Every structure is written in C-alpha cells, then in structure tokens.
Structure 1
Amino acid sequence: MKKKKILFTVIVTAVSVLGIFVYSWRTGEVRLSSQDIGISAGQAILIDAHTGRVIYEKSADEKAYPASTTKIMTAMITIQTLEKYDSPIKQKVKVPPGAEGTEGSSIYLKTGEMISIEDLLYGLMLVSGNDSAEALAEIIGGSRENFVDMMNKKAKELGCSGTHFENPSGLFDEKHYTTARDMAVIAAEAMKNRRFRQIVSEDVWHAERENSDYLAFRNKNKTIRQFEGGNGIKIGYTENSGRTLVASAKRGDEEVICVVMSAPDWFNDAYSLMEYGFEML
C-alpha cells in the first residue's frame, strides 16, 4: 500500500510538472490543464449545473471584469422581484429618462415609451441592451442605486465574496468586478428559474413596440445555435474587460455551465470546456 501511494504521488507530480494533468485535492479528480484543453481565457471555470461540482478551473478566483454578463444578475433580480410580488411580466411600463441614450449596445428606448417588462428582459439578455438594464433598474428598484444594492445583496447571499457591482449593465468600472467562480454561482442560481431559462434559450424574440422599428431581437449568444445542447446564457465585452462568456448546455439529464473571462477565443473556449465536461460527467 505504501509503495502504491508513493508511486501515485510521483505520477501526479510528474504529469503536473509536464503540464499534462492538474490534480485537485479538493475534488479528488485529475483534470486536463488549460494547456491541454487549449483555451485562451485568462480565467475560467466549468461546473456541473445540478450539483455545482467543479470539473475544471483556471485562475477562477482571480479578479476579472464581467462586462455584460452582469446582466445575468440584473435579469435574475428582476424576475425574482416580479415573482415575489406576483407582478405580471407582460405588464407595460413607462421608460424612465435615465434609460434613453445609454452608452453601448441598445434597443433604442425612448423616454416615455410604453413597453412590457418581458420585452425589456429579452432586449436585455438577447441583444444586451444597456438601456434595458437601466430601465429595469429604475422600474424594479425604484432607483438605479437601490437596484444595484439589491444586486450586491444577492451576490452576498450567494457567497460571492469576490464580486461587487456598480451598475446594472456591466459598463466598465474599476469597482465593478467578479471572479469566474462567482459568476458560475450566479449563473447556476439564475438557471434554476424557469422564466430565466426560457429567455436565455430563445433564438429570436419579436417585441411589441408601437413607435420603434427595432422589433426582432436575435440572441448574440451563438452557443444556442452552434453547440449541441446549448441553452444559454450571456456574452459580454468591453475594451477593458475583454471578451467574456457564460455558457450552458444540456444533454439528456446532464448539464454544464462554463465561464470564460478575458478570452479572445471565447466561443471556442466554451465549446472545448463544455465538451470536456460532458466527457467527464
């Protein structure tokens, strides 16, 4: 027994030095290293969506900037608040002044426009409307500041100690940050909600708007079209944060969630990780 234990230790040490495998003492698994999977991401994590078990990680606790993957939290807070107060998602609301002209990606909201919360959520998650994020923050939170407080409170409840939000959209701010591990926790929580899952898995959504020609929202998250079993959830990009992607896929009873951050080859990174995940489950 002693010889076998020594031999195993030598093997694990040797392959770790060679960069072939990484042994996780926490999970008791041998996993491929980032070099072997071939991902470009600076930070990454892959989890079993049902159990939260980590299948793979790379610098998962390193500070990173979430960009528009922030909107996962924005959508989750919105949906959970509606459900808490039994408020209809199809109700029409008036777009507040702070939403119009928001920097970055947009669904071109106009101040005073009447639009359903449902359409705002699809605009938020499919085409990454920053104006949708600002509108929802004011409508759901009563004020932008209060909504951001709700986001941070939820992050704390989930144990995401490496996360702090400054805005509902993900526009770059030095004080707006997360980690790959925290983002996986947030994503897993959001994906438990039936309404959220329905939204992020939609390919194209047709909004009902009276004074706008922008009605068809096509999901920018290509994983739902390109990866077998792809069912969500959000892409993100700013010049400062780089390319960030939270993706999920379900095959049979198995489901995985991956997060890649600071990832030049974001979609291929996600595909490699999720394929590996299904092989390991």
Structure 2
Amino acid sequence: MRAMARITVVLAALSLAGSVGIRAAAAPENISAVSAILIEAQTGTVLYEKNPDERRAMASTTKIMTALLTIEAGDPDREFTVDPLAIRVEGTSMGLREGDRVSRRDLLYGILLPSGNDAANAAAVSVSGSIPAFVQLMNSRAQELGLYDTHFVTPSGLDADGHYTTARDLAKLTAFAMRDELFRSVVSCSSADVEFGNPPYKRTLYNSNKMLRRYDGAIGVKTGFTDNARRCLVSAAERDGVTLIAVTLNAGDDWNDHTKMLDYGFASVKSCPLDVGCGFRVAVAGTGQSVGVYAHNASMALLDGQRGKLTRRVLLPPFVYGTVEKGDRLGELEFLLDGEVVLECPLYADSTVTVPEQQPGIFREILARLGVYI
C-alpha cells in the first residue's frame, strides 16, 4: 500500500467524554528553591513556576543529558574497558577503577542512581572518544531540543564557569528523556544489581533520590549538589494517568518543596478520555472501494479550563493505491492546545482492501502521468 499526498481536516472543538470537574487547588506556598517549575509532562503545561528562566548551576541534574546521549548512542550491552584518566574525578562515584570492564547499560545505572561522576565521564569517552567532544554533543543536542538557556561544560555537573541551565529547560529535557523506555526504567529503580570490574563481578547500586521512597507515585528522576549549585532536584510522579515533572534549583528544603508542588499538581490536573472517532474513509485507487480508519483510545491530562480549548486535526491522504491491510497506518489524528500539537494518535485501516494484480491500462497511464508507478 502506498499513500498519495495528504489532506488536512481541522475539526471543531473537541468534545471530551467523561469530563471531570476539578476544584481549584491552592498554589504551593513557601517553596524554598531560588528557581522552580512544575509541568504536566504530556502537554508541557506549566502548573507552577518561580524564577523559571533564571540561569543557574545545575549540579548532577546534568546527568539527565549525559544519560540520554548514552542511550541515543545505542549498543547498551557492549562491554569496554574504561578510560583510566576519565574516571579520575572527584565527588560521587559508582566505584570504577582502572582496567574495569563495564557496559553502557550498567553505566546508566551508575550515572543515574549513585550519581557517579566516574560513570558520567566513562560514558562520555565511550560515546564521543573524549570528554570535550561529548560536551560539544551535549550542547548540540540541547539546541536541537530547544534548550536555549542551557550550556554544558562537563558531563558530570561538577562546578565550572559557563555550566548552567534554567528550571524550565531542565523540565523540558526531563519530559523528553522520560519518553525513552530505558531511561524511564533506570530512574525509577531504588536500587539495581550491576556487573563490572576486572574481572567483572556483581554489586548493588542505590538511588540517591529519596522521592522514590517517600512520595506515592514517584517514578524518578535525578538529584544534584555542588557548593555552587547547592541542592538541585528533578522529580517525576504519576497518578491516575497524569505525569508531573518538578524541578528545583538551589533549594534548602527540596524534598518538601517537591512534595508540595506535586500535591498541588495532582489536585489541579485530571486525565480526561479523548474522542478519537473521526468517521473518515480513504479511497483505494482502482477498486471503487474505500477503507475506514480508527485510532486507539487515548486520554490527556488537562486543567479544567483547557478542555474547551482542545481541538483536533485529521491528516489523511485523499486516496491510497495498492492493497491495504487491516491495521495499516494511513494517517494521524492530532490534538492541539492553543494551536500547538500536544498528542498524535495514528489512524489505522479498519479492514483489508485488495487491489487486483493487473490494473486497467488507462489507470496505469493516469498514474504514470502523475509520476506514480505500480
């Protein structure tokens, strides 16, 4: 099955099934952090902010980017011998020694659980060949992700001139990273058994993120502390289909800050089922038939005032040519909030339509004139 150019259909304001009334919650008070933000992860809606665009040191929350790039480099189970110079670094450690062999997967646990600076540097050299080259990659990726108030100097987050981010950028980065299954799995672990050394042997690493143990629904993500940055924390929690991300930079009481922010968020946002029916059909060229489309059920976390602002847009081809199998992806159903796409649902064929092997000559000629050959 091949598709021709798409047509776009914008539908009227979306009607939501089972809308839930949400009582306004009191905003969190006495947040100790100098800079803070709370967002809903799916839409990026800001629920609370305090100096969110102030550039500040980020300490080991830097390792969110380091881990993301390590994952994106692929080959997580390939073992290698760590660079002896890279692992000679101050601060927290996963316990790497000269000559140790380790996999990138186990380095991820070392980076994200005990916040190993040795693990961050070892991963950097493994991915890019050197720490400076990896830092360049970090900054390039930051630009690609729209983190325009972020600049990296080290893979570990140790204090360095020009190493900074904002609470808003860090929340955006975390929302992106949490979409990755491996990243999400690692940061949700309170502890993990890994194997490395020379020869490798098993040992247990423990997560420094106390939110995993003290907050119901916590699923990550990263702690941080340096003399310059002070206490930094990124947390994520999930309840009833709603995922929230909280960030604090330079916080005197970060665990309580995050508890108050997340409690406020869950009192303010509810998951609402979406209307994914569209009733459209797509013509199958050369058959005189058409095929219907469907999307899987979906939901979205919304504030009470957002439900009336949500619209949807159907992206479908005017026709397809070639046999269509049931379940083939034919287009997308997009949900938009304030004109921005916040969710995409694939549209699938609801039945099979078979095109005869031999097409009439005139039909072939018409397609050939259109530059289409079958």
What range describes the TM-score normalised by the shorter chain of this pair? 0.7 to 0.9
Q: Which residue of 2 aligns with 1:216?
A: 204
Within 5 Å, which residues of 2 pair with 1:21-36? Answer: 36=28
| Partners of 2:195 and 2:202 within 8 A in 1 | no
Q: Which residue of 1 aligns with 2:273?
A: none
Give the drift of 1:213: 7.9
Residue number among 31, 52, 60 corresponding to 1:39 in the alignment: 31
1:245 aligns with 2:233: yes
SS of equivalent to 1:267:
helix
| Partners of 1:98 and 1:135 within 8 A in 2 | no
Question: Percent identity over the alignment?
Answer: 44
Residue number among 106, 110, 114 corresponding to 2:101 in the alignment: 114
- Following the alignment from structure 1 to structure 2, what is the Cα–Cα distance between the partners of residues 239 and 125? 20
Report the structure, 1 or 2, having the larger strand content. 2
Once the two structures are superposed, residues 173-213 of structure 1 have per-residue CA deviations (whole angstroms, 9 ceiling, x without a partner) of 12100000000011111001000000000111111134488
Assess, with a 3 A threshold, how the Cα gap between structure 1 residues 163 and 103 changes in structure 2: closer, same or farther: same
CA RMSD of aligned residues (A): 1.6
**Greater Cα radius of gyration, structure 1 or 2:** 2
What is the aligned residue count? 245
Q: Which residue of 2 aligns with 1:271?
A: 259
| Partners of 2:221 and 2:236 within 8 A in 1 | yes
Assess, with a 3 A threshold, how the Cα gap between structure 1 residues 31 and 239 changes in structure 2: closer, same or farther: farther
Give the drift of 1:98: 2.1
Assess, with a 3 A threshold, how the Cα gap between structure 1 residues 214 and 104 changes in structure 2: closer, same or farther: farther
Structure 1 counterpart of 2:85, one-letter code: G
SS of equivalent to 2:73:
helix
Q: Which residue of 2 aligns with 1:203?
A: 190
Once the two structures are superposed, residues 49-91 of structure 1 have per-residue CA deviations (whole angstroms, 9 ceiling, x without a partner) of 1111101100000011110000000000110121xxxx2x122
Assess, with a 3 A threshold, how the Cα gap between structure 1 residues 160 and 170 changes in structure 2: closer, same or farther: same
Assess, with a 3 A threshold, how the Cα gap between structure 1 residues 178 and 144 changes in structure 2: closer, same or farther: same
Assess, with a 3 A threshold, how the Cα gap between structure 1 residues 58 and 32 changes in structure 2: closer, same or farther: farther
1:170 aligns with 2:162: no
Moved more, 102-111 or 126-135: 102-111
Q: Please give the TM-score of this superposition, normalised by the length of structure 2.
A: 0.63
Within 5 Å, which residues of 2 pair with 1:98-109? Answer: 98-109=85-96
Residue number among 72, 76, 85 corresponding to 1:80 in the alignment: 72
SS of equivalent to 1:150:
helix
| Partners of 2:87 and 2:119 within 8 A in 1 | no
Q: Which residue of 1 aligns with 2:292?
A: none
Give the drift of 1:100: 2.7
Q: Which residue of 1 aligns with 2:352?
A: none
Residue number among 129, 140, 143 corresponding to 1:153 in the alignment: 140
Residue number among 53, 58, 65 corresponding to 1:66 in the alignment: 58
Q: Which residue of 2 aligns with 1:11?
A: none
Moved more, 216-225 or 230-239: 216-225
| Partners of 2:66 and 2:155 within 8 A in 1 | yes
Structure 1: tracts of 5 or more residues without a match: 1-29
Q: Which residue of 2 aligns with 1:25?
A: none
| Partners of 1:163 and 1:179 within 8 A in 2 | yes
SS of equivalent to 1:45:
strand
| Partners of 1:107 and 1:214 within 8 A in 2 | no
Q: Please give the TM-score of this superposition, normalised by the length of structure 1.
A: 0.84
Once the two structures are superposed, residues 112-153 of structure 1 have per-residue CA deviations (whole angstroms, 9 ceiling, x without a partner) of 211111111101100000000000000001211111111101
- Following the alignment from structure 1 to structure 2, what is the Cα–Cα distance between the partners of residues 238 and 191? 24
Q: Which residue of 1 aligns with 2:215?
A: 227
| Partners of 2:87 and 2:117 within 8 A in 1 | no
Structure 1 counterpart of 2:160, one-letter code: D
